[in-house]
Amino acid sequence: MIAQKYCTRSLFKWLSDDIVFISGLIKERNRLQAKEDERVMAVTIKDVAKKANVAPSTVSRVISDNPRISDATKKRVRKAMEELGYHPNVNARNLAIRSTQAIGVIMPSSAETSLQNPFFPEVLRGIGSMALETGYSLYVSTGGDDTQSFEEVKRMVYGNRVDGIILLYSRRNDPIMNFLVKEKFPFVLVGKPYKRESQITYVDNDNIQASKKVTEHLIELGHRRIAYLGGTTDLVVTTDRLDGYKQALLAAEIPINEKFIIHDEFLRSSGRKAVEKLFSFSEPPTAILVADDMMSLGVINMLEELGIECPEDVSITSFNNLYLSEITRPSLTTVDINIYSLGIQSAKSLIERLKSKDEPVKRVIVPFEIKYRNSTRALTE
């Protein structure tokens, strides 16, 4: 029926209909536009100025509480602002003062996988809380692949989107970090720089020491066949923890077995693969030093599948003390690296740097603490 109705219409009718329709649309849009404009066309500094009978510049000075303005005028202007519901436009402000009050947070490329690791939310939480306190906003890069990540950083830097950047990872020859250094863009690193250590402000744990201590613990428990399971080798944190591990072995005069050193991504799945490999050896390790709690999770899962008991057959120590390290069965002996504090400190350092250009380069070492739980036991065999 409807079809028929349309079919009987002349072309002319169609056209005129269209015209009506279009004009209707335009009208509707204008109406919306008007309402929208009402919102968008917010009150400006000029409106306030007019209302308070002063110049815009005076209003600006009132905003920044400039002492050159008399209290009487200030009061008057503030009242006008209040009445008009004035809020300064950040874009205009940023343009004029060439600053945003925002800091960028860069996750390792592919937030896809990284946001999976509670490390990042936790450090974000620390950064966020500091940002909140100091009135900064947070811009987070959302990863993608390396190229996209880089593009995002460029957008942040070149586009003046942020005043400074926090890099949530440190790896060797990271193009993003090199870029930031080259551009002399203020940034701080969470983790230890691969090189140019003295020129980069960074916040880190003493991972070498932590790893050494925890390895020593295993050694004290009588373990000698200790495996190391770390993230990709280009991450500095991985190599640092490996170093600590080696130092402890050396000090205890235990030969280093390269087969016992495995690298993969900080994912749950990597842990699983590694376990399969380690226990295919005729003399498998009696203890594993895992460089990340998420990975340990995979390890534990896989051990269970393989029918290997932890800690009876193999001891595990881990890193990060994510909340999940308490809830695994067995709960994990892990190094609490104080992630939240890493976030706080990095934000703090960055903001200090932003506030005064000649803030010196800093290194902040956040203390760690080993949490002894149930995934390790003394070797008695």
Partner DNA sequence: GTTATTTGGTAAATCGGTTGCACAAAAAGG
Partner DNA sequence: CCTTTTTGTGCAACCGATTTACCAAATAAC
Binding site residues, a copy of itself, CB under 8 A: 25, 28-29, 32-33, 35-36, 39-40, 42, 87-92, 94-95, 98, 100, 102, 111-112, 115-116, 118, 120-122, 124-125, 127-129, 131-132, 137-140, 142-144, 148, 152, 154-155, 158-161, 183-185, 268, 297, 300-301, 323-324, 327-329, 357-358
> Is residue 30 at the binding interface for DNA, with CB under 7 A as the rule?
no
Residue 55 touches which of DNA, a copy of itself, none (CB < 5 to 8 A by kind)?
DNA
294 membership: H or E segment, kind and range: helix 293-306
Give the Cα separation of 145 and 14 in Å (integer).
Answer: 50
Q: Identify which of residues 5 and 68 has a Cβ nearer to DNA in the complex.
A: 68
Minimal distance, residue 152 CB to a copy of itself, in Å: 8
- Tell me the one-letter amino acid at 58: T
**Closest approach of a copy of itself to the CB of residue 291, in Å:** 19
Give min distance, CB of 25 to DNA, in A. Answer: 18
User: Contact region for DNA (CB under 7 A) — 57-65, 189-197, 293-301, 315-323?
Assistant: 57-65
* Least distance from a copy of itself to the Cβ atom of residue 184, Å: 5
Query: Which residues lie across from 229 on neighbouring strands?
Result: 262, 290
Burial class (CB in 10 A: 0-12, 13-18, 19+), 375: buried
Q: Which does 363 bind (CB under 5 to 8 A by kind): a copy of itself, DNA, none?
A: none
Q: Which stretch binds DNA (CB under 7 A): 1-9, 92-100, 119-127, 292-300?
A: 92-100
Give which of a copy of itself, DNA, none residue 53 binds (C-beta under 5 to 8 Å, depending on kind): DNA
Cα distance between residue 66 and residue 55, in whole Å: 14
First-to-last alpha carbon distance for the chain, in angstroms, is: 89
Which CB atom, from 127 or from 219, has the smaller least distance to a copy of itself?
127
Q: Rounded distance, CA 327 to CA 317, Å?
A: 15
Across 351-360, b (16+ Cβ under 10 Å) vs e yields bebbeeeeee
Shortest distance (Å) from residue 371 CB to a copy of itself: 16
Cβ of residue 131: shortest distance to DNA, in angstroms?
Answer: 20
Q: How far is the CB of 163 from a copy of itself (least distance, A)?
A: 11
Output phi, psi for 366, to 5 deg: -85, 130
CB of 95 to a copy of itself, least distance (A): 4
CB closer to a copy of itself out of 94 and 257 = 94
Which entry of DNA, a copy of itself, none binds 70, CB below 5 to 8 A by partner kind? DNA
By C-beta, is 164 or 244 nearer to a copy of itself? 164
For DNA, how many residues bind (rule: CB under 7 A)? 34
Q: What is the dihedral of CA 354, 360, 363, 366, to 10 degrees?
A: -60
Asked if 356 touches DNA (CB under 7 A), the answer is no
Nearest CA to 140 among 176, 180, 168? Answer: 168
By CB under 7 A, tell whether 232 contacts DNA: no
| Of residues 248 and 344, the one with the C-beta less far from a copy of itself | 344
User: Under the criterion CB under 7 A, does residue 200 sit at the interface with DNA?
Assistant: no
Of a copy of itself, DNA, none, which one sits near residue 35, judging by CB under 5 to 8 A according to partner kind?
A: a copy of itself
Whether omega for the bond prior to residue 311 falls within 30 degrees of 0, making it cis, is yes
3-state DSSP call for residue 50?
A: helix
Pick the piece of the chain touching DNA (CB under 7 A) from 96-104, 145-153, 296-304, 326-334: 96-104
The span from the CA of 178 to the CA of 182, in Å, is: 6
From residue 167, give the alpha-carbon distance in Å to each of 12, 117, 218, 371. Answer: 64, 16, 33, 27
Distances (CA, A) of 139 to 104, 127, 153, 158: 5, 11, 11, 14
Which DSSP helix (H) or strand (E) runs through 2? Answer: helix 2-7
Rounded to a whole number of angstroms, the minimum distance from the CB of residue 179 to a copy of itself is 12
**Tally of residues, the chain:** 381
Residue 40: which residues within 8 A CB-CB, separation 6 or more?
Answer: none
Q: Note the residues at the interface with DNA (CB under 7 A).
A: 40-46, 53-61, 63-64, 67-70, 72-73, 86-89, 92-93, 95-98
